[in-house]
Amino acid sequence: MISPRDPHPLSPASSPPNQASAEGQRAAELRDLLNRAAHAYYVLDAPVMEDPVYDRLYRELLELEQAHPELRSPDSPTQRVGGKPSEGFKEVEHRIGLLSLDNAFNSEELAGWYGRLLKVLDREASPGEPPSALAMVGELKIDGNALALSYERGLLVRAATRGDGERGEEITTNVRTIQSVPLRLQLAEPPPWLEVRGEALIPDASFAAINRERQARDEALFANPRNACAGTLRQLDPKVVAARRLDFFAYTLHLPPDWQPAAGDPPLPRSQWESLRWLEAVGFRVNPNAELLPNLAAVADFFAAWDERRKQLAYATDGVVVKLNDLRLQDAAGFTQKAPRWAIALKYPAEEAPSRLLRLSYQVGRTGVVTPVAEFAPVGLGGTSVSRATLHNADRLAELDLHLGDTIVVCKAGEIIPKVVRVLTELRPAAAQRAELPSVCPECGSQLVREEGEAASRCVNSSCPAILRGALRHWVSKGALDVEGLGSKLIEQLVDRGLVASIADIYGLDGALLASLERMGPRSAQNLLEALAASRQQPWHRQLYGLGIHHVGEVSAKALARTFTSAEALTAAAREAPESITAVHGIGGEIVQSLQQWLATPANQQLLEQLRRLGFSLAAPEPEPGAANAAAPHLAGLSFVLTGSLPSLSRSQAQALIEAAGGKVIASVSRKTSYVVAGVEAGSKLVKAQGLGLPVIDEAGLLQLLAES
């Protein structure tokens, strides 16, 4: 008997074609029965069918599909594990980005996040009044791997890893083996597309069994369940993935903005809490330990309660995720360049362990920053063995009062990065020497420089081998020029043998020279030359990011490249109109200062000229003839402030429309603001705009502006 909690039977309209025959009808019936039984067993933990019955029906369906291959459909349980092992994974672009979360490690940082959230929502309390109470959802932070699942007309069509948040690896075949991931949604009339985000994980018992098997085969053990899960998801053979019995918890939902559910299907969610219930209703496994929390005090209680309770769970967790419940308020809060403003990961304190400092080593980065690294006796933390931790700079050395031979306490910051927490000075050996940063570069012997107001000490010798190695690694990296085949080992050979002295020099290498290098040959050399040639066609924003200018990351490089469409334009702006750079959304004074310093350096200008001669555009492509006037951004130079909830446009949709028309969306109201777009429950920004006499428009007024050309 099928569970009554499975509310949405498959309608004939949603069934695959070729089912007019008796065999087709029986295959559809078997798929329905088996999928429902699997959902009840793996998701609801409420079995409705005995194993021998399931096995008999599964065998019947398998035989039907083998006799009539046209009856196979993507939602068939026989397709969860099938096909040949993959040859590799292709990179795909996410329909909706997978941003990471900002972290908080104590109540003060949580309160700071909440205060910033109230400010961006215009909910700040008047002096003397308590802060506004916003309902939130607390969810356990599962220590697994984030996945993006894409459904079309109710069928799973793609699964991808997080990757860099914009692009990930497609691992659909492997994810289909996870029984708690539905292949078909339980909806009578599913939307044209649907995106679900969630966490794949390996339960502790499965992890222990996997390591026992690996030990018996004399294979290296996985360090922890998260690493085991990541390695499993990237297995080329889906049968291996199926054998490791991964699980999945869904936690985020994205639906088409204009879609309306059919009668009998669950209604559209208006909150994160309703989104979790919606995901459950259509067939997903949702973590049962989430709670709806009325205020910040309830969040603190939830966090404290799970510090102990989480140790009794069958899977690993390292904190809780706090999300603003109201979806319209989430949209109003928006995002920073890296994370949503409406959510935060509240982490539990990391495990600590003592060890003995053996020595200090020093790393020179691509910007010349010299970083001291503590090397200590190996110690186990969070299921891994660690023996090194960065000490950042001279200030951190002084703060720790670190001496060689000290007994130190080490933890994992965010349960990932090893960190020296403190020194047990009472155990310090007699006559121990103080640990200090060297005065000269450990790579080239040049005098180190520490500018006023900066914590970092730098080597400023542009010919320093360490700086050159770092610059080359960055230039060829995936987010920059993406030159496959030029890895760290080859870069070290090229620099150490004096074969290259700048980025431009790698484009003058010939095949015979490359083929003579260690671990190279004629085929590898030819492939590398082809990859180098192809890299000259990378777009301007990748070239800009690849230059490795301090503080200019992938996101800011894209923003700068959209406004300053060539290296010449960016150089002129940095020299003559730096305020035009800070006017770009997300670009601050720190980036402007870095650009000015880098672009004013003669060696860097010489590098740009060398790259031009090598065929690099260092510019965006010219528009098609006659297209310039038609595509002219008619809102160029205008700034907009969005406040309140708009009737039909989300905050992100309104911002995208404004920016596509050349306008700029800014966070605060000033006399320079061109328009304030006010919706329902507009707050202090509207009051300030009215006081300054600024133009205030509603959504209709904004749409009218956008329609003008």
How far is the C-alpha of 646 from the C-alpha of 677, rounded, in Å?
9
b/e for 57-79, b at 16 or more Cβ within 10 A? bbeebeebbeeeeebbbebbbbb
* Residue pointed to by tokens 């402007």: 592
For 110, the enclosing helix (H) or strand (E) is: helix 107-120
* 587, 559 contact by CB (below 8 A): yes
- Residue 33 half-sphere exposure, CB side, CA atoms within 13 Å? 18
How far is the C-alpha of 297 from the C-alpha of 606, rounded, in Å?
58
Copy the structure tokens of residue 657.
């429309």
How far is the C-alpha of 41 from the C-alpha of 49, rounded, in Å?
8
Helix, strand, coil share of the chain (percent; to 5): 40, 20, 40
Q: Is 141 a catalytic residue?
A: yes
Residue of 432, 438, 382 lying closest to 407 (CA atoms): 432
* 165, 185 contact by CB (below 8 A): no
Q: Which of 141, 347, 419, 685 is catalytic?
A: 141
How far is the C-alpha of 215 from the C-alpha of 312, rounded, in Å?
26
| Cα distance from N-terminal residue to C-terminal residue, the chain | 63
590: CB partners within 8 A, 6+ apart: 551
CA 675, chain centre distance (Å): 33
* Local structure of residue 70 (DSSP, 8 states): G
**Which residues are catalytically annotated?**
141
